[in-house]
Amino acid sequence: MNPQLLQTPIDYLKGVGPGRADLLRKELGIHTYQDLIRLFPNRYIDRTGYYKIRQLQENSSEVQVVGRIVHLKTVAQKRGKRLVATFRDDTGEMELVWFRGHKWMKESLKLNVPYVVFGKCNRMGNVFSMPHPEMELLSEHEQSLRTAMQPVYPSTEKLASKGISNRVINKLMQQLFIETGGRFSETLSAPLIRELKLLPMREALFNIHFPKDQELLARAQFRLKFEELFFIQLQLLIRNLVHKQKIKGYVFDRVGALFRDFFDRHLPFELTGAQKRVIREIRHDMGTGAQMNRLLQGDVGSGKTIVALMSVLLALDNGFQACIVAPTEILATQHFNGIAELVKPLGINIKLLTGSTRASERKVIHEELENGSLHILAGTHAILEDKVRFHNLGLAVIDEQHRFGVAQRAKLWHKNTTPPHILVMTATPIPRTLAMSLYGDLDISVIDELPPGRKAIKTVHRYDSNRLKVFAFIRDEIAKGRQVYVVYPLIQESEKMDYKDLMDGYASIEREFPKPQYQISIVHGQMKPADKDYEMERFLRGETQIMVATTVIEVGVNVPNASVMIIESAERFGLSQLHQLRGRVGRGAEQSYCILMTGHKLSADSKTRLETMTRTNDGFEIAEADLKLRGPGDIMGTQQSGVLHLNIADIVKDNQILKLARQYAQQLLRDDPSLSAERNLPIRHTYAQISKKKNIWNYIS
C-alpha cells in the first residue's frame, strides 16, 4: 500500500473530526493513521458466550446478554438522578442503570428492539442490575468486524468523560482497516519470516486488533514483539559498527616492559579467570585501530581497579598518557592512593587533580601533562576543564559512568585530535536484558567472580523489636577492633522527617555507645562538603568506630576495617540501593555482616526485596529481581530509558524474544552489513524510516 496513506492526520479518519482528534493527540499521542494502528490493546475479553438472565451469578466477571428494553424511568436519588431500564429476555428481567449521561442515553435508547448488553452485574435482592453497560443493537453486533476476543485499549479519564469509550476506539480501528483495505507494507525479509514462521505484517496487525482465537492472538503478539525488539537491536548494533568504522583510535600493539613487569612481579594477588578474560577483550579492542568504547561491569569488590590499571599500563607501554575520572573527590583520592601504591616500584609519575588541588600544584600538573612527563592523572570533573591539556591522552577510564552526563564524557574526546580509548566502569550491576537495550551500542565486559579469599557478606533481616540484640552484636564487633555503618533512608519529599529520623537514631546510638569509650561520626546531605569529608576521613583513619549516615556514603568508599552495615527502615530502599550499601562492608579479610532493620508492617514487594537480599550476594541476580519489581524505566532513571518506551514488548517478560531478536540482528549484519541485498530491502526501508524519527515505533508499517 502507499506508505503516505498511513501518515494521514487522524482528523481525516471517518468518525474522528477535529474535537476527537485533539483529544486523541493530547491523551494518547495519536497524530496519524500510523499511530492509531500501533495503539495495541492492553488485554482482551472473551465474548464467545451469551448468558440468559436466569443464569446470572453474582461474581466479578463480565457477561453478555441478549434482550429488549421494555421500560425506561428516571429515579431521583440523594445527588441528582439515575436512569433505569427494564431489560427482558425469555427467562426473566434485569435492570440497566446509568448514573451519568442519562439525558443523552434516554434519547438514544430504543424500546422493544433486540440489544446485546455487556458488563458486570450487581445483585439487589432478587434483581440483577448492570451499571453503564456496553450496548449494541443485535443487528449491528452480527454484522460488525467484532470477534470473540474483544480488545481493551489504553484509555484515560478524560477520554472516558468525553465519550471516547473502548467501543469508540474499536469502531475507529475498524474504520481504519476499511479505509486502508488492511494492506500494510512488510517490514521484515521473506527468509526471516519463513525461518521464524512469523505471521505476515497485515495478518499480525489484523489479529492483534481483531483476533479470531487465542492461537492467532499469540502469534500476532510474538511477531510484533519480535519486530519491535529486532529494530531496536539493529539500531544499537549499527551505531556500534559505524562507531568502529568511522572513529579511529590509537593502535596499542605493544605489550611492553611496564605491563610485563607489573604482571610478573608486582601483582598483589592472582587474577581471577574473569579478570584475565576482560583484560584480553580490552587488549584486543585497543589493538584494532578503532576507538574502544567498552563498559566494564563488576560487582563491588570484583577487582575492576586492577583491570583498569593493567589497561592503563598498556597505554603507557605504547607511549601514551592515561586518566582516571571519578564522580567524587573521596573516590578520586581513593583511586589515586590505591594505584600510586601499586605502581610505586615501576617509577611511574601519577598525580591527583580535584576541585581542592592548590593552584601551585595545578601549575605543575598542567606543565607535566603538556610536556608528557606526567603519565597518569586521577581526578574528578576537574580533569574535564578546557585548561587541562594532555600531551597525548591514549586511554580515559571513567568510574561510575551513570554519574557523568554525555556532554561531560564528550569533553574527554576533544582532549586530542584522535579520541582516546574509553573504558567505562560501573559497580551497579545492570541486568543483561537491560544492558542489551540500553548499552547495546557499547561492547560489554563482565567480571562475574570475586577474588579468592573474599568471604561472602552474611545478611540477616531483624525487626525493630530485636534492636537490643543488634546493639549487643555491634559492641562485640567493636571490641574485636571493627567499625560499623548505620544508614538511614533519605527520600527527598520528606527530608525534614528523614533528618528527624537520622537525629533520633544518632541520639539513641549515643546513649547506647557513650563517649569517651566510643566515637561516632555523622554524615548527611545538609552538611557542608568540607565537614562531610572531615567526618569520612575520621572514619577512614579509624578514629571513629560508628558512622551514622544517610545514603550519602559514597559508592566505592573503601574502609577494609568496616565489617557491619546496619540499614534502618530497610523496606524504604530499593533492591539495588540495598545491594550498593551492603557493598560498603566486606572489603577486608574478616567476616562481614549486613543487618536489615524494619518494622513489622511490610508490603509484599518489601518482603520480596528483603528475602532476595538475605538469599543472595550476586549483584546480577539482584538486578534481575529489581527489574521485575520496578520495571526498566525506574531502574535507569528517565533520562536513559528513552529507548524503552515500548509499544508491545516488555523487556522483562519478553527477554527470550529480546535475545532472539539480537541474535538475528547480529546475523543479518554479519551477512549483509549495508542491508543492500534484495531480500533485505523491507528491513532497509523500515530502518531508514525509523532512523529519521526519535520515537522509533511511530513510523513502522
Is the pLDDT score of 665 beyond 80? yes
Average pLDDT rounded to a whole number, residues 234-263: 89
In a domain, 322, yes or no: yes
Q: At what angle do helices 529-540 and 329-343 cross, to 10 degrees?
A: 40
pLDDT digits (tens, 9 = 90+) for 485-508: 999 886 444 555 555 677 888 888
Average predicted confidence (pLDDT) for the chain: 86
Q: What are phi and psi of 515, to 5 degrees?
A: -75, 160
107-121, 197-211, 630-644: which has the minimum mean pLDDT? 630-644
- CATH number, domain with residue 541: 3.40.50.300
Is the pLDDT score of 698 beyond 50? no
Residue 545 pLDDT: 96
Residue 25 pLDDT: 93
Domain of 72 in residue numbering reads as: 48-145
Report CA-CA distances (Å) from 89 to 94, 124, 148, 371: 9, 19, 22, 95
Q: Is the four-CA dihedral 220, 224, 229, 231 of positive or negative sign?
A: positive
- CA–CA separation, 498 and 471 (whole Å): 22
Residues 470, 573, single domain; the answer is yes
Buried-state track 111-120, b at ≥16 Cβ within 10 A, e below 16: eeeebbbbbe
Q: What is the share, in percent, of the chain residues with pLDDT greater than 90?
A: 49
DSSP state of 459: E
In a domain, 73, yes or no: yes
As separate numbers, helices (DSSP H) first and strands (DSSP E) second, the chain gives: 25, 22
Is the pLDDT score of 480 beyond 90? yes
Residues 589, 541, single domain; the answer is yes
Residue 21 pLDDT: 93
Residues 415, 470, single domain; the answer is no
Residue 416 pLDDT: 76
Report CA-CA distances (Å) from 170 to 35, 156, 217, 415, 628: 14, 15, 16, 57, 31
209-218, 383-392, 410-419, 660-669: which has the minimum mean pLDDT? 410-419
Neighbouring-strand partners of residue 73: 84
Encoded amino acid at 362, one letter = R
Contacts of 197 (CB under 8 A, 6+ apart): none
Residues 584, 486, single domain; the answer is yes
- CA–CA separation, 308 and 376 (whole Å): 12
123-137, 463-477, 550-564, 653-667: which has the minimum mean pLDDT? 550-564
Average pLDDT rounded to a whole number, residues 534-556: 82
Residues 261, 408, single domain; the answer is yes
DSSP for 18-68, please give it: HHHHHHHHHHH---BHHHHHT---SEEEE----B-GGG--SSSSEEEEEEE
Residues 593, 542, single domain; the answer is yes
- CA–CA separation, 583 and 554 (whole Å): 11
Average pLDDT rounded to a whole number, residues 368-375: 95
79-83, 323-327, 586-590: which has the minimum mean pLDDT? 586-590
Contacts of 409 (CB under 8 A, 6+ apart): 398, 401, 422
Residues 411, 463, single domain; the answer is no
DSSP for 162-202, please give it: TT--HHHHHHHHHHHHHHHTT-----S-HHHHHHTTPPPHH
pTM score, two decimals? 0.66
Residue 498 pLDDT: 56
Is the pLDDT score of 301 beyond 80? no
Average pLDDT rounded to a whole number, residues 420-433: 81
Q: Is the four-CA dihedral 174, 179, 182, 186 of positive or negative sign?
A: negative
Q: Domain boundary residue among 145, 163, 193? A: 145
Which range of 373-377, 579-583, 623-627 scores highest in mean pLDDT? It is 373-377
Residue 460 pLDDT: 96
Q: Domain boundary residue among 145, 161, 177? A: 145
Instruction: Count the domains in the chain.
Output: 3
* Residue among 162, 97, 156, 103 nearest 132 (CA): 97
DSSP state of 111: T
In a domain, 610, yes or no: yes
Name the band, by pLDDT with cuts 50, 70 and 90, for residue 642. Answer: very low
Is the pLDDT score of 701 beyond 60? no
In a domain, 228, yes or no: no
- CA–CA separation, 294 and 283 (whole Å): 11
Average pLDDT rounded to a whole number, residues 116-123: 88
- CA–CA separation, 156 and 458 (whole Å): 47
46-50, 169-173, 544-548: which has the minimum mean pLDDT? 46-50
Cell of 628: 521485575
In a domain, 634, yes or no: no
Name the band, by pLDDT with cuts 50, 70 and 90, for residue 533. Answer: confident
- CA–CA separation, 627 and 653 (whole Å): 10
375 neighbors 346 (Cβ within 8 angstroms): no
Residue identified by cell 585501530 is 289
Residues 462, 422, single domain; the answer is no
* Residue among 567, 571, 300, 576 nearest 459 (CA): 567
In a domain, 552, yes or no: yes
43-52, 117-126, 261-270, 303-312: which has the minimum mean pLDDT? 43-52
- CA–CA separation, 286 and 422 (whole Å): 10
Residues 485, 416, single domain; the answer is no
In a domain, 122, yes or no: yes
Contacts of 560 (CB under 8 A, 6+ apart): 587, 588
Residues 420, 469, single domain; the answer is no
Residue 418 pLDDT: 83
Encoded amino acid at 342, one letter = L
Q: What are phi and psi of 631, to 5 degrees?
A: 85, 160
User: How many residues comprise the chain?
Assistant: 701
Neighbouring-strand partners of residue 290: 248
Cell of 13: 479518519
* Residue among 468, 476, 483, 469 nearest 546 (CA): 483
Residues 608, 484, single domain; the answer is yes
Kindly calculate the radius of gyration of the chain based on its CA atoms and give it in whole angstroms: 32
Residues 329, 414, single domain; the answer is yes
In a domain, 197, yes or no: no
274-278, 402-406, 523-527, 680-684: which has the minimum mean pLDDT? 402-406
